[in-house]
Amino acid sequence: MSWYRKLHWQILIGLFAGLIYGVIAAANGWSQFTENWIAPFGTIFINSLQLIAVPLVLASLVTGVASLSDLKKLSRIGGKTIAIYLATTAIAVTTGLVIVNVMRPGHQIPEEVRAGLQEAYASDATAGEAAAAEARERGPLQILVDLVPDNFFNAASSNRNMLQVVFVALFLGVGLIQVPAKTAKPLLEAFEGLTAVVIRLVDLIMLIAPLGVFSLIANTITTVAGDDLGRVLELVGALGSYSLAVVLGLAVHMGVTYVALLKLFTPMKIRTFYEGIAPAQLVAFSTSSSGATLPVTMERCEEKLGISEEVSSFVLPLGATVNMDGTALYQAVAAVFISQALGMGLDLGQQLTIVLTATVASIGTAAVPGAGVIMLVIILESIGVPIAGIALILGVDRILDMLRTVTNITGDAVVATMVAASENQLRKPELSEKSDRIRVTR
């Protein structure tokens, strides 16, 4: 098959075309035109992914759990998954801390730039503060309370409630194991059918992925730049070393930590892994949302990496909401950068506090664009750094959000591969050229 017929190349072409168009549009003041005529295709793409996320998680998880004949296996997989999620996140935070402490980007920011940024983003920072105050006022066990919905339809009505949907699916799956096989059969078959159909729908939606990605990227650039591209370039210049620290951290985590984990704990070839997961990474990059990317991540893991549905349907939806290595790493770098820029040194105790709070904060971060910066407030508070300092980093946040979301979903796929390998549930990946073609017909 020619290279340009492969999905990840098509999306990449869409992405670059969007980038070039976005820059030209921002330079020529076409942001209104872009918003009216280009952006809607991106919205349709994200909406259609979100539309199938809840049915996919519900149906595949119910089927996955019900096929585990004993509950012991479920708790073993669950325990393993959560332990690896926490460990990889802690490694990510530590990587970020080492890099930001060595590079010291906060010390390089000139006084007048700092004052300018603080003034420009003061009101945005206050808005973030209010959202974080709400998060802070919740009791320590609220996270458990939030897990259990009082009404299934409410839970299923918002993609922000994915953990509740996971809970309902687990609950339902456990119920299905408990009743006689004959009674469970019709419902189980219905869920199996729904899973198969939704996975096929992902294939269909991916047909418009290149166009969706084009319009998402174009619109992001014109929205961030307004009609003044120079301002963005100025910002990127001023916050260049901070952005570089985040990007370097993410690159080390993806290129060293994940590679090492895959090599040590799985038989998966690194190239097969990254080629298989590439379309999901590109969708994550352009949507900045792990939640919206979830259907694509699941489809790629099952069909291209050979991870069993039993493992992927449990590990990935959970990971999309609780495992955010990229976000945690970014939060750690941002917290130290802000404290450096404000001239406050952080001792070892405060840095360890960052490891702990960033790990927890990333769990509580919603899988939607810009959520990471809201939880950053909690980290800043825990180390006594003024929250208004967030204004310093807001200018480049959207760009970094795209990159950290890529890391977030890659981390989920790495852990799913590790869990599947340890449970003997990793088929030989089918990354043949033929199987990479999008199937529209049977």
Q: Where along the sequence are the contacts to ligand ASP (CB under 6 A)?
A: 288-290, 324, 327, 365, 367-372, 401, 404-405, 408
Task: CB nearer to ligand ASP: give 97 or 358.
Answer: 358
| Lookup: tokens for 337 | 């950068």
Closer of 246 and 419 to ligand ASP (Cβ): 246
Q: Report the residue number, 15 or 65, with the smaller CB distance to ligand ASP.
A: 15
199 contacts: CB under 8 Å, gap ≥ 6: 56, 298, 299, 302, 303
Query: Nearest-CB residue to ligand ASP?
Result: 372
Nearer to ligand ASP, 118 or 323 (CB): 323
Per the DSSP assignment, residues forming a β-bridge with 307 are: 426
CB of 334 to ligand ASP, least distance (A): 11
CB of 152 to ligand ASP, least distance (A): 24
Residue with smaller CB distance to ligand ASP, 249 or 369: 369
CB-based burial, 309-339: b 16+ in 10 Å, e otherwise: bbbbbbbbbbbbbbbbbbbbbbbbbbbbbbb
The nearest distance, CB 132 to ligand ASP, in angstroms, is 13
Least gap, CB of 415 to ligand ASP (angstroms): 15
Q: Is 83 exposed, middle or buried (0-12, 13-18, 19+ CB in 10 A)?
A: exposed
Which CB, 403 or 431, lies closer to ligand ASP?
Answer: 403
Residue 139 CB, shortest distance to ligand ASP, in Å, is 24
- Shortest Å distance, C-beta 398 to ligand ASP: 10
**CB of 261 vs ligand ASP, minimal distance in Å:** 19
Dist. CA 192–CA 190, nearest whole Å: 5
Minimum distance between the CB of residue 394 and ligand ASP, rounded to whole angstroms?
12
Nearer to ligand ASP, 42 or 369 (CB): 369
Amino acid identity, residue 107? H
Q: What Cα–Cα distance (Å) separates residue 102 from each residue in 182, 212, 245, 325, 408?
A: 63, 39, 9, 20, 24
Pick the closer one to ligand ASP by CB: 94 or 159.
Answer: 159
Min CB(332)–ligand ASP separation in Å: 12
CB of 159 to ligand ASP, least distance (A): 11
Is the CB of 65 or the CB of 414 nearer to ligand ASP?
414
Q: Which is nearer to ligand ASP, 64 or 319 (CB)?
A: 319
